[in-house]
Chains A and B, each alone.
Chain A
Amino acid sequence: MAVVRITAWLEERIDLWPIRHFIQKKVIPVHRHSVWYYFGGMTLFLFAIQVATGILLTLYYRPSGEEAYESVQFIMTDVQFGWLVRSIHSWSANLMVLMMMIHAFSVYLMQAYRKPRELTWVTGMLLFGIVLFFGFSGYLLPWNVLSYFATKVGTEIAGQFPLVGHLLMRLLRGGDEVTGATVSRFYGIHIAILPALTTAILALHLFLVQKQGMSVPPSVERAHRGQPLRAMPFVPNFLLRDLFGWFVTLGLLAALAALFPWELGQKADPFAPAPAGIRPEWYFVFMFQSLKYIPAKIGPFDGEVLGVLGFSLGGLFLLLVPFLDKKSALGEPSPLFRRIGIGIIAYIVIFTVLGYVAPAVP
């Protein structure tokens, strides 16, 4: 009853009809690929957890080479439920990247990037890049041995970028080496710059999704040509299912955080040798592993530079795919782009697995 009274109170002051109308009218297509529609919402739910737990962590975290490790240690040992907040933040970050990858590649394979959703795709890909950068910047913040060396290697790879590489590396590190200054810088990027960018782009992404509705795969459209598509109301049918998934994820996060709390490891020591078998977070492993296989020199060019250039071009391809795939824009089947998408997924999976099972490259 309180909800009704609050709604009535608001109704007297603001015209809520457009919102009510939107909620009543919003429907979700029902077909054999409908399951993929849940992953965007799941990513958003995990992002909300990241924001909430991230804000709590900022209350105790101190971004400097002298205090970062100790402050995280304090969070994990002395702060009430600090261990839980940090563990959920770390596990949720990894799950979010996984969900985002599933969401992005399911959208790609369903060719939901085609006209008129080009901007939705572009904003989504920008969010993809931002989330990866969120992961990269956040990984350094505990200032432990693994994060130190992962950042050292990661920024070195960024430094291989043609022409602007060295400048980019210095910009990221806040100097020539990874130091306490890098921690302060990454913290600023992690809690201010990236959240601001995310808020703006995510708002546009969600606006476009709501404005244009859910895309139906071309194959489903062709199968139902001339017949009305089945659909379910977003509120409450789809939202309840979304909630169901979110609670399952919440349970999974709680179990992971309680049974496998995120390790802190040893404090970073720039003078210590790099630990054996070091590798970055799992979502960067495919790139890391690929660079291992590239020869030091390819003709007159530096192999690593070519590798970095290749990944940049791959990212650019994904960003611009709605404008490159002319056939799907016309509503025609586009097997070439479908095969490219499957190839990219297979490549990422194979090289990630190789990164774990065959880390030593001859």
Chain B
Amino acid sequence: MGIALRAVCLGIVLIAAALIRTPFADAEDACVDCHRALREERLNRPAFKIKNDYHLARGLGCHSCHGGDQTALDNKGQAHSPAKGFVGKPTRQGIPESCGKCHSDPRYMRQFNPSIRTDQVKEYYTSVHGKRLREGDQKVAVCISCHDVHAIRSVKDQMAWTYPTNVAETCGGCHGNPEYMKPYQIPTDQLEKYQQSVHYEMLTKRADLASPTCSSCHGSHGAAPPGVDSVVNVCSSCHVVTADLFAKSPHRSAFDELGMPACVTCHSNHDITYPSEAMLGGGEGTPCATCHESDSAPLKKAAELRSMIEALAGRIDQASAILTRAEHAGMEIGIPRFELITANESLIKARATVHSLDAEAIKTATDSGLEVAQKSLESGHNLLAEVQFRRKGLAASMLIIIAVLVGLFLKIREVDRRRGPESGDLTGDRH
């Protein structure tokens, strides 16, 4: 047999060997294999759920939490052997420690993600949940209450219970359940209120993942309600400028003296709706009127601030509407529309400056915005005038074109009559 033939045979054998799958190479996890076959749902469900688990994808199977021997196929005794570290189902109180075996070990966690936090368990025991768990309360949230069990997903996974858009529903699973929360005697309408808030709208409808959800204000592992004194610090972690302005206002010391929480007193907490100048003044339902008497100087000042801001907002709306009309008429409005952004910025600045109660600063912002909005409004008027000019121009052009067409029509008739419409022949042109 020639060398070439031998080489071909060897090649075929090697390819066949590669194609044949060895039984142990493709073996399933013994835990998953057995539990899938069990009839009782309580026992087979984890085996099905685990296929989506973040840990499994990184080589951590059932044995990582439950111990035992995952290689002991069809051998329940060995698989569940205490000698192999089998611990079975951890108790609810033992769950934080069970997860913490890995998650609190920086050296272990570094191999998966060097920047991952490893203080969650420690932080958990500072939370209301953790404290109560230590006191023996079995109903409070533990790791698996928020992260799921057997199908734990990364926080970046949109299906995860801890993904920003899902957090409110996760917390609301318990906190929105009056029956479950009955022993604690705390409100259960937080989820319902939050779903009416501007924060919820930003997060879920505008997909702004930076918008706050429960854990943004209450913390996650160390979840606790912010106290009266710290509310302003919580809100200011995002609303930095507004918080600075508020700190300089006379309201700050007054709120402190009266023991009223900043921000929440006027804006509420879970159901924070769109703030607007309508909140200013002494009208019914305005936050100012809850503390200040009617016809008092502060209410008059609030009404004055409101009218300044409303004047700017109204002018911007007017300019925007006229520019939209011009746009619909086919005009290019890119530049005035762009300029109007500056007026809107002044409006935002004026609205934020209300927190300082500095009328002079608010006037500076509204005056500057009014100037720009007026310019945009004039641009809009000019564009609409240009639309009219174009239409008149078109009408004049059409008259000229129609006159030319009539002339041509008469000329064609005259030429046809004089020379005949079909007076030529196709000599030499018959193709």
Report A's interface with B, CB cutoff 8 A: 27-30, 73, 76-77, 83, 116-117, 212-216, 221, 228-233, 236-237, 240-241, 243-244, 247-248, 250-251, 254-255, 258-261, 263-264
Q: How far is the CB of B66 from chain A (nearest CB, A)?
A: 43
Query: If A27-B424, A232-B423, A247-B408 touch, does A254 touch B330 (CB 8 Å cutoff)?
Result: no
Query: If A212-B431, A258-B390 touch, does A241 touch B412 (CB 8 Å cutoff)?
Result: yes
The answer to whether A83 and B332 touch across the interface, beta carbons within 8 angstroms, is yes
Query: If A232-B424, A247-B405 touch, does A259 touch B415 (CB 8 Å cutoff)?
Result: no
Encoded as 1 (CB less than 8 Å from any A CB) or 0, chain B from 116 to 145 comes to: 000000000000000000000000000000
Flag whether B278 is at the interface (Cβ < 8 A). no
Total B residues in contact with A, Cβ cutoff 8 Å? 32
The answer to whether A240 and B422 touch across the interface, beta carbons within 8 angstroms, is no
The answer to whether A255 and B398 touch across the interface, beta carbons within 8 angstroms, is yes
Query: If A228-B425, A237-B412 touch, does A247 touch B332 (CB 8 Å cutoff)?
Result: no
- 12 pairs, CB–CB < 8 Å, chain A vs chain B: A27-B424, A28-B424, A214-B429, A216-B430, A232-B423, A240-B411, A244-B409, A248-B405, A251-B397, A258-B390, A259-B330, A264-B334
CA distance A73 to B334 in the complex (A): 8
The answer to whether A237 and B429 touch across the interface, beta carbons within 8 angstroms, is no
Set of chain B residues within 8 Å of A83, measured between Cβ atoms? 332
Q: How far is the CB of B381 from chain A (nearest CB, A)?
A: 15
CA distance A213 to B428 in the complex (A): 9
CA distance A248 to B398 in the complex (A): 10
Query: If A83-B332, A247-B408 touch, does A254 touch B419 (CB 8 Å cutoff)?
Result: no
Set of chain A residues within 8 Å of B412, measured between Cβ atoms? 237, 240-241, 244
Encoded as 1 (CB less than 8 Å from any A CB) or 0, chain B from 319 to 358 comes to: 0000000000011101100000000000000000000000
Q: How far is the CB of A277 from chain B (nearest CB, A)?
A: 20
Set of chain B residues within 8 Å of A30, measured between Cβ atoms? 421-422
Flag whether B244 is at the interface (Cβ < 8 A). no
CA distance A280 to B192 in the complex (A): 46
CA distance A259 to B402 in the complex (A): 18
Top 8 A-B pairs, shortest CB-CB distance: A27-B424, A213-B429, A258-B394, A231-B424, A261-B330, A251-B401, A230-B422, A76-B332
The answer to whether A233 and B431 touch across the interface, beta carbons within 8 angstroms, is no
Flag whether B426 is at the interface (Cβ < 8 A). yes
Flag whether B416 is at the interface (Cβ < 8 A). yes
The answer to whether A254 and B398 touch across the interface, beta carbons within 8 angstroms, is yes
Instruction: Considering the complex, give the chain B residue whose CB is closest to the CB of A74.
Output: B335
Set of chain A residues within 8 Å of B335, measured between Cβ atoms? 73, 77
Q: How far is the CB of B365 from chain A (nearest CB, A)?
A: 28
Q: Given contacts A29-B429, A237-B421, A243-B408, list 16 more A-B pairs with CB under 8 A.
A: A27-B426, A27-B429, A29-B426, A73-B334, A77-B332, A215-B431, A221-B430, A229-B430, A233-B419, A237-B412, A237-B423, A244-B408, A247-B404, A247-B408, A254-B397, A258-B393
Cβ contact of B405, chosen from A214, A244, A261, cutoff 8 A: A244
Instruction: Considering the complex, give the chain B residue whose CB is closest to the CB of A230.
Output: B422
Flag whether B391 is at the interface (Cβ < 8 A). yes
- For window 380-409 of chain B, which residues contact chain A by CB distance below 8 Å? 390-391, 393-394, 397-398, 401-402, 404-405, 408-409
CA distance A259 to B393 in the complex (A): 11
Query: If A30-B422, A232-B423 touch, does A73 touch B332 (CB 8 Å cutoff)?
Result: yes
Query: If A232-B424, A251-B401, A254-B394 touch, does A117 touch B416 (CB 8 Å cutoff)?
Result: no
CA distance A29 to B423 in the complex (A): 10
The answer to whether A240 and B398 touch across the interface, beta carbons within 8 angstroms, is no
The answer to whether B426 and A228 touch across the interface, beta carbons within 8 angstroms, is yes
CA distance A141 to B294 in the complex (A): 62
Q: How far is the CB of B159 from chain A (nearest CB, A)?
A: 22
Set of chain A residues within 8 Å of B415, measured between Cβ atoms? 236-237, 240
Set of chain B residues within 8 Å of A29, measured between Cβ atoms? 426, 429
